[in-house]
Structure 1
Amino acid sequence: MPAFAYEALDAKGRRKEGMIEADSPRQARQFLREQGLTPVELTEAVERVTQQTQHRRWFQPRISTGELALFTRQLATLVAAALPIEEALKAVAQQTEKARLSTLIAAVRTKVLEGHSLAEGMSTFPSVFDPLYRAMVAAGEKSGHLETVLNRLADYTEQRQQMKNKLLQAMIYPVILTLVAISVIAILLATVVPKVVEQFVHMKQELPFSTRFLMGASDVVRGYGLWFLLLTALALIIWRSWVAKPANRRRYHAAILRLPIIGRVSRGLNTARFARTLSILNSSAVPLLEGMHISGDVLSNDEAKIKVSEATERVREGSSLRAALEQTKLFPPMMLHMIASGERSGELDNMLERAADNQDREFESQVNIALSIFEPALVVSMAVVVLFIVLAILQPILQLNNMVGR
C-alpha cells in the first residue's frame, strides 16, 4: 500500500500536513474527508521527496548525519526484534519528528511494499543513502544479518558525525580570530590612522618612511577597500567555476597532497576513511574489489580517488592489497604493515579497523599541531602589524619633539 504526503485544512481552516497510506489517491482523499480534513494537496511520498531534494539542493540542508544515524539505529533495533522490514520502517517513520525524514522513510517503505529490496528502495534517494550505505544494506539482506550491518552503519555514521564536530570545534576559534584580526586592522587603517596622521601633513617636514607607507596603505583601504572586496568575491566565483571541472579539481587536489602540513592532514583524513570503510564492507561480506571501489568513492580528494581506483585494478590483476596500496604513495608504512598482517592471518577487517583507529588518532594529532602553530603565529602577526602602526604614528611625534627641543 503506497504512502501519500498530504496538505489539508481542518474544520477551523488550519493547515495540516502528514502521511497517509491508501491504495490510490482517490482512496487517500476519502480517508482524509472521513477524518474531517479537506485535502489541498496530495502527492505520492516518493515524488514528494524527489521534489524536495531538487528544490532544496542549494537552499536547505539535507538530512543530517545525526538524523541518519538515529534512523539507522532505530531500524536495527526493530529488525533485531524480528519485525518485518515494512513494519519496522512504518514504526520509525511514526516516531520521527522531522516531517521530511518521515516522508522519505515512507517513500522507502512504499518501494519495499512494491517488492523491491530495502537497498533498492534506498537507491531512489542517492543524496541521502550513499553507495557505502546501500552496499552494506544489500550485503546484510543477502547474508541474513541485516541488524548487525545496520548497527555497524550506525556506529560508522556516529563516528563520522563526531569527527565533523571535532573539526568544526577546532576551526571555530582560528576563523573568528582571523576575521577579528583583519577587521581590526582594516578599521584602524580606514578610520583611526587618517585622523591621527593628517595632523603631520602641515608640518612641512619629511615624514619617516613608515609613516608615509602607513598613509599610503590607509588611502588604499579607504579608496579601494570596497573594490577589493568585490574583486575577492569575483575571484572566489571564478575559482569555484575553475575547480568545478574534473581535470582542474584533480590538479588542485594533487597540489594539496604535496603541501607540507595540509597535505599530511588531507592524506591522514582520506586514508583513515578508506581503511574504516573497507573494514566495514569487508566484515559485511562485501567482495574486496567492490569494497575497494566503494571505499574509493567516499574519499574527499579526487587525486586520492584515482590512485585508489588504480590500486583496485592492480588487485583485480592479482596483486595483494598491501602491494597495490603501497604504490599509491598515500598510505603510511604502519597501515601497510597492518594490512599485510591482516591478509596473512585472515583478519583483514580487524586490522583495517585498527589501522583506521590509528589514523584517526594521528589525524587529530596533526590537526591539533597545525592549529597550535597557526594560532600563535596569527596573534604574533597581528601584534607586529599593530606595533608598526603605533611606531609609524609615534615617529613623527618624536621628530617634532626633537625639533622643538633644539
Structure 2
Amino acid sequence: MFTYVYRARDWQGKLVSGTVKAESLQQAVQRIRDKEYFLIEIKERSDSRIIRNVWNIGYGSSVKTRELSVFCRQMATLLKAGLPLLTSLQILKGQTSGKVFQLALAGVEQSLQEGSNFSDALQQYPGVFPRLMASMVEAGELVGLLDKILEQLAEHFENELKLREKIVGAITYPLIVLMLSFFLLLFLFYFLLPVFANMLHNLQLPLPFATEAVLQMGNFLQNYWYVFPLAVTLLIFGGIKALKTPEGGLWGEKFFLLTPVLGPLARKIIIVRFCRILGLLLQGGVPLLQSLQMAHKSSSSRILAAAFEAVQSSIRGGSKLADPLRITGIFPSLVLEMIAIGEETGSLEDFLAKISELYEQEVSSSLDRLSTLLEPILILLVGVILGFVIVSIFLPILTLLNGL
C-alpha cells in the first residue's frame, strides 16, 4: 500500500489537497475521482521525482506528437462513421498505451460526462493538448465540422513529424562522423603519440615544426586533459543560458539567420510552420489576431515574437497582414506578395497553405543537399586532420631512413 499526495479542485472549483492510500497510481487516481474531484497533480509521498512518479497532467506533462496525430486521425474516422463523441473517446482511451495521454483522456471523458464542450475539456490539459488543438476543435464545434478539423490537425501533426524526422536524419550521420573522429583523435593523442614521442626523444632526431607542434599539443592534452571538456561544457551551458533570455535568444536567432547554408534553411522552416498553422487556424474559422498569436508561438521564432505587438497593432489599425510582416525581415517578397494576393481575393488561408507546401518542398530539398554536402566535407576534413597528425609523427623517422 502506497500513500499519494494530491492537489485537485472540487465541484465548486476550489483548490483542495490531501493524501490517499492505494495499491497503485491508477487506483489512487480513481479514488480521488470517486470523490468528484478534478485532479491537478498527484505524486507518491516517498518520492517527488517528476514524470515517472509525479502525474502533473495539467501542467508540464507532455505527449509525443505522434500520439496526437494518431488520436486526431482515429477520432476523425470514428466521428465520420457516426459514433458519438463520448463513445469515440472511450474507445480510443482504451487503445492508448501512453500513461500520461491515457490519464488526460480519462479527464477529458469525465469533463464531457459533466457537460463540458470537447474544446473546454482539452484546455484543462495544456501540457498534453496544445492550444492550437483546443482552438481548432472549438472552431470545429461552432461550425459542426469537428471530424474535418480533426483530420486537418492530424495532417498538421504528421507534417511536423516528417519535418522533424527529416532534420534529425540530416544531422545524424555528420554527428556520428564527428564523434568517431573525436574518439579516434583521443586514441592517437593519448595512446599512440606518447609511444612515438619517447622513441623520437631516444633517437635524438631534429624535429620539424609540424612534428614539434603535434607533440606539444599531445603533451598539453595529457597534462591538462580536463581543460577541453570543461571549456566545452561551460561554453554549451553558458550559450544555452544566454539563448534562453529574451535578448540573447533574439540576438542568437538574428545571427543564425545570417549564417550561410543553415540560415536560409532555418528561415524556410520558420515560414513553413508559421504559414501552415496560420492557414490551418483561419480555415477552421479562428479570428485572424488569435490565429496570429498562436502561429507565431508555434513557429518558435523570437524575431516573430518580438514583432508580434507591432503586427497586431497594425492590423487593428486597418493594415493588411503583408505590410506588418514585412518589418520582421523573415518573409521574402514572394511570400509577402502571395499573402497580399490572398487577402485581396479573400482566400488567404488557401495561399498560406500553398506557401507552406512550396517551402516545405524547399526545406526537404535543402536538407537533402545539406546531408549530401556534409558527408564528403566531414570525411575530407577528418582525413586531413588525421593525415596531418600521422605524417607529422612519421616525418622524422622517414627523414632518418632516407639518410641511411
Task: Output the TM-score relative to the length of structure 2.
Answer: 0.85
- In structure 2, relative to structure 1, the CA distance for the partners of 1:356 and 1:376 (3 Å cut) is same
What is aligned with 1:261? Answer: 261
Q: Cα RMSD between the aligned structures?
A: 2.9
Give, in whole Å, the separation in 2 of the partners of 1:353 and 1:296.
Answer: 16
Shift of 1:402: 4.1
AA aligned opposite 2:400: L
Aligned to 1:73: 73
Aligned counterparts, 1:43-54, within 5 A: 46-48=40-42, 52=51
Structure 1: which amino acid aligns with 2:119?
Answer: A
Please state whether the residue corresponding to 2:102 is helix, strand or coil.
helix
**1:225 match: secondary structure:** coil
In structure 1, the partner of 2:225 is: 225
State, as a whole percentage, how many aligned pairs show the same letter.
Answer: 25
In the alignment, the residues of structure 2 paired with residue 191 and residue 278 of structure 1 have an alpha-carbon distance, to the nearest angstrom, of 57
- For 1:199, the equivalent position in structure 2 comes to 199
Stretch of structure 1 that moved more, 357-366 or 241-250: 241-250
Matched, 1:345 2:354: no
Matched-pair contact (CA < 8 Å) for 2:61–2:100: no
1:106: Cα distance to partner?
Answer: 0.7
Q: Which one-letter code corresponds to 1:25 in the other structure? A: D
TM alignment of 1:311-330, pairs within 5 A: 311-330=311-330
1:311 maps to amino acid: V
Structure 1 residues 7 and 76: alpha-carbon distance in aligned structure 2, compared to 1, 3 A threshold: farther
Report SS of the residue matched to 1:318: coil
1:173 Cα deviation after fit: 0.7
Q: Find the aligned partners of 1:230 and 1:92 in 2 and give their Cα distance.
A: 49
Within-5 A mapping of 1:7-406: 17=26, 25=34, 46-48=40-42, 52=51, 55=54, 62-403=62-403, 405=404
Q: Is the 8 A contact 2:55 2:100 kept in 1?
A: no
Q: Tell me what 2:46 maps to.
A: none
Q: How many residues align?
A: 378
Q: Is the 8 A contact 1:7 1:17 kept in 2?
A: no
Change (3 A) 1:21 1:194: closer
Change (3 A) 1:401 1:356: same
Report SS of the residue matched to 2:328. Answer: coil
Deviations 1:275-319 (A, max 9, x none): 100111111111112111111111122123223443233222211
Deviates more, 1:352-361 or 1:61-70: 61-70
Instruction: Check the 8 A contact 2:33/2:39 in 1, yes or no.
Output: no
Unaligned runs of 5+ in 2: 1-10, 12-19, 44-49
TM-score using structure 1 length: 0.84
Distance 1:16 1:246, change over 3 A: closer
Ranges in structure 1 where 5+ consecutive residues have no aligned partner: 10-14, 29-42
| SS in structure 1 of the partner of residue 224 of structure 2 | helix
Q: Tell which deviates more after alignment, 206-215 or 337-346.
A: 337-346
Contact between 1:296 and 1:309, CA under 8 Å: does it hold in 2?
no
